[in-house]
Chains A and B, each alone.
Chain A
Amino acid sequence: MKPDLRFNFIADMQKGTLTVRREFAATRQLVWDCYTKSELLDQWYAPKPLTTKTQSFDFREGGHWHFAMIDPNGTHYWSRTDYDTINPIDGYTGYDSFTDETGVANPDLPRSHLAMTFTDQGDHTLTETVVSYNSAEDLQTVIDMGMEAGLTSTLERLDELLLKFSR
């Protein structure tokens, strides 16, 4: 059975922010590694049934992660995270944008600011992710585009990926 780990999701429509907190049964260093090494990110970042593929990765201030989340039909959803500040192993900030496969940001979609923090919670680790858009209007643009439409609709039939991860 899975341990009952804290998961907390708060959306503030007026401010245009999402705050996601989650506890993990692992040391802060290990959780940090999973967020900051592409070979590990590739193994978990995309939600089921999608998979993650890193195109380029340079984890340093001013560097970026360019990657695709790939759906079962092979459609690639390209994004990039531009790292702004990095404080191992406490947290990092950056900007997320939707891009094409060359890494050029889609000018029609607002980018979001990302702030990640990692704190010890006994022998567990608490992560906090704050995704913020410049304005409620920017968030509404993303919602209206229906970016995630269909992305999670086939969650049910994804046991095989779970098997792959737990081996």
Chain B
Amino acid sequence: MDKYEASLDTLFHALADPTRRAVVQRLVKGPAPVKELATPYDMALPSFMKHLNVLEQAGLIASEKQGRVRTCSFNPDKLETAEKWFDEQRALWASRFDNLDNLLTSLQGGNDET
């Protein structure tokens, strides 16, 4: 599971907080402005923005500012793209090393390998 370690760490950290989980659940339904997202919570806007920042760093949400309104949206693609890329990288290295195993075997004159 190494390949998922890093992204899962970030993901778990991002989702470890109830406020952040609720924000993600809300955004899965569709984009929303920050002001609307913050309304249910009894916290100062800068604190709430910190939560959004953690989610954005984790790649779970994206935000876009138009004029004075910042709108957030759920962003599943980034994580999926990254994990797909890591999977491919892992497969690339695994295949490359299998080649090297075979080469090392033949260089050592062995023939007991598949």
B-contacting residues of A (Cβ < 8 Å)? Answer: 1-2, 5, 7-14, 18, 20, 22, 24-26, 30-31, 34, 40, 43-48, 129, 140, 142-144, 146, 148-149, 151-152, 155, 161-162, 165-167
Contact = CB atoms under 8 A, between A and B. Distances in A.
B36 interface: no
Given A2-B113, A9-B3, A13-B6, A24 B93 contact: no
Interface in B86-111: 86, 88-108, 111
Chief secondary structure at chain A's binding surface: mixed
- 7 smallest CB-CB distances across A and B, nearest first, come from A47-B95, A44-B99, A165-B102, A26-B104, A12-B6, A152-B91, A143-B85
29 contacts: A9-B93, A10-B2, A10-B6, A11-B7, A11-B86, A11-B89, A12-B6, A13-B59, A14-B6, A25-B101, A26-B108, A34-B100, A40-B103, A40-B107, A43-B99, A43-B103, A44-B100, A44-B102, A45-B96, A47-B96, A48-B95, A148-B88, A148-B89, A151-B88, A151-B92, A152-B88, A152-B91, A152-B95, A161-B99
A47 B92 contact: yes
